[in-house]
Chain A
Amino acid sequence: MPAAVAAGTRPRSGVAPPASGGGAERNRVSRYLLTQTLSFVVTLWAVLTLVFFAVRALPGDAATILGGLDASQAQLESLRGTLGLNRSLPAQYVDYLGDLARADLGTSLRERRPVVRVLLDRLPVTLTLAGLAFALSLLVGGLLGLLAGLRPGGPFDRATLLFTTVALAVPEFWFGFLLILLFAVNLGWFPVIGLPPQGLTLAATWNLLLPAVTLAIPRAAQLARLARARVLEERGSDYVRTARSKGLRAPSVARHIAANALPGVLPLVALELGGLLTGTIVVEQVFGLPGLGLTILGSIAARDYPVVQGVTILAVTVYVLVNWLADLLQLAADPRLRAPS
């Protein structure tokens, strides 16, 4: 395994393996990309099929909800006809996939407008919240893990351990409570709840900081744990000993360790990023933020199934997509994965 050894001793090299292996590597990489992409498509299809059946298993159908309690049987039947609900399940399934391909998610029963519009209205709040939380957890989690792993057993490591243990022992909304009490009620730096009437403006982004911190706490903790473990693993390897014995200074050694350890954290980062779109549900409820989370909760309660289906489709698509991208990114960040196994 010449390429793997080279990459192991010279972590940031990115040097292509010997010329003779160049074409073979490209072949291997493109085959890998192809299988990954195929499995992405198949997974997405499977997940969307699961959503189709799940939404149809929800109690009561759209006609009974639209028609109301005093609709006659005949009225219900004609409603089902216009909604296409009286057709066979396979026929509905084909329609469903066709509509998806045209980005048509149906019409909200409650708001009487296209689901896509509803989602686009609510998306900015959730995306900003998720983006802030993601950046925070990446920064804090990565840094804590790296610094703790570089000096295991030290005071910083112990403090990090305490933080991660507590952060993972309590549901995130409980930290939301604490943050509200401390920063909104006692210090008055933030509003206790919600957004100003004009919605999400640049100034109102400030209101999203507490919810973002709430979301970031357990995610940063998880990331810190994994990053620390990866750093510890790398610390014991030969190239680190070589680098130290030739007199390389600590920051440079740390840079080498980070370059080798951090790609291994990517799958978890992807899981977290992909899960943030649904992770916001609870936090949006705690802070009263009108995003996708409050939308899906309200739609479940009001049996507005097209919207439930729409949010679910959006969330799972993003989830699958992010995980696929992370695989590709890991391949780009870690030359060892491109080497023959």
Chain B
Amino acid sequence: MKRVRLGLLLFLLVAGSALLAPWLVRHDPLEPDYRARYAAPSGEHLLGTDGLGRDVLSRSLAGGRVSLLIALSATGLTLLLGGLLGLLAAGVGGLTDTALSRLFDALLAFPGFLLILLVVAILGGGAAQTVLAMGVAGSPVYFRLTRGFTRSELRREYVLAARALGAARPRQLLRHALPNFVGSLGVQAASTAATFLLVEASLSYLGLGVPLPTPSWGNVLQDARSYLTRQPWAAVGPGLFLAAASLSFQFLSDGLRDVLDRRE
């Protein structure tokens, strides 16, 4: 429970400061100030300024809003996609099950980052496209988990009892089977969110994710790379926020798993 609380606190801190950024910081994340280029951290600019004199703290917070939104939406999508199709495959069985299983096997046989890169190349860069690409690439894991859990739950006696009482398949799946493993999916989802944060950063760093000028942690870091030796501070700020956010998801995932383990 300690780690869950720590993770939650860290997440609220990062997400809260990102959301409340307009009221917390004085500088516009996009507004250049040519007299204050390459400034070291000071009272005016807590994390320094970048090559155009933009405030690194403001940009880290604004970037966080975009990056967190993308990572969380992609996690939701991948959970929905893999989870629903996993329930469907296990619940219907037969040809549907075989076809879906083979499809997700093929997806799983693809190196993940390459798959995301290709989907983004097909759809073009952008926030929505990044979400879709990561959602698809992450789904095989959830399909497998959900399908496996559901199949084992459907064999249990309480499901048989529900069936005997006349519960239809959708009700057996959603009301009876799903609640028994939704916690395990949550553990996995928190760890996926941490991964997606890093993947989004890499994509945007490569210029394939969120296009400038909208700041995300990845493209702020891409920008920082071009004058890294002159102004390391521009890379430090967003990196620290990114680390805090992905750590919070890691803590949540580990903590939730411990809680579930103890309950069993």
Contacts and interface: CB of A to CB of B under 8 A. Distances in A.
Interface string B234-262: 01000100110011001000000000000
A127 to B, nearest CB: 16
A228 B113 CA distance: 26
Contacts of A57: 122
Contact of B110 (A296, A308, A316): A316
Given A43-B106, A275-B113, A171 B201 contact: yes
A47 B205 contact: no
Contact of B250 (A47, A165, A181): A165
A165 B119 CA distance: 30
A133 interface: no
Given A281-B206, A319-B110, A170 B117 contact: no
Contact of B114 (A46, A169, A315, A320): A315
Contacts of B42: none
Nearest to A174: B239
B198 A47 contact: no
A185 interface: yes
A1 interface: no
A278 B250 contact: no
Contact of B111 (A59, A185, A278): A278
Interface in B83-115: 102, 105-107, 109-114
A9 interface: no
B121 A58 contact: yes
A321 to B, nearest CB: 11
B232 interface: yes
Nearest to A54: B118
A297 B202 CA distance: 13
Interface string A258-286: 00000000000000001101110110011
Contacts of B235: 174, 177
A71 interface: no
A173 interface: yes
A192 interface: yes
A38 interface: no
Interface of B: 102, 105-107, 109-114, 117-119, 121-122, 124, 194, 198, 201-202, 205-206, 208, 218, 221, 224-225, 228-229, 232, 235, 239, 242-243, 246-247, 250
A274 B114 CA distance: 12
A166 interface: yes
**Which of the listed residues A173, A180, A274 has the most CB atoms from chain B within 10 Å of its own CB?**
A173
A285 B107 CA distance: 26
Contacts of B208: 300
Judged by DSSP, the binding face of A is: helix
A296 B201 CA distance: 18
A36 interface: no
Contacts of A54: 118-119, 122
List 8 tightest A-B contacts by C-beta distance, closest first. A46-B106, A278-B114, A171-B201, A171-B198, A169-B243, A169-B246, A169-B247, A300-B121
A296 B239 contact: no
A215 to B, nearest CB: 12
A168 interface: yes
A49 B201 CA distance: 29
Contacts of B122: 54, 57-59
A141 B36 CA distance: 44
27 contacts: A43-B106, A46-B109, A50-B107, A54-B118, A59-B122, A169-B243, A170-B239, A171-B198, A172-B202, A173-B221, A174-B235, A174-B242, A177-B224, A177-B235, A180-B229, A278-B111, A281-B117, A282-B202, A282-B206, A297-B206, A300-B117, A308-B118, A308-B121, A312-B114, A315-B114, A316-B109, A319-B110
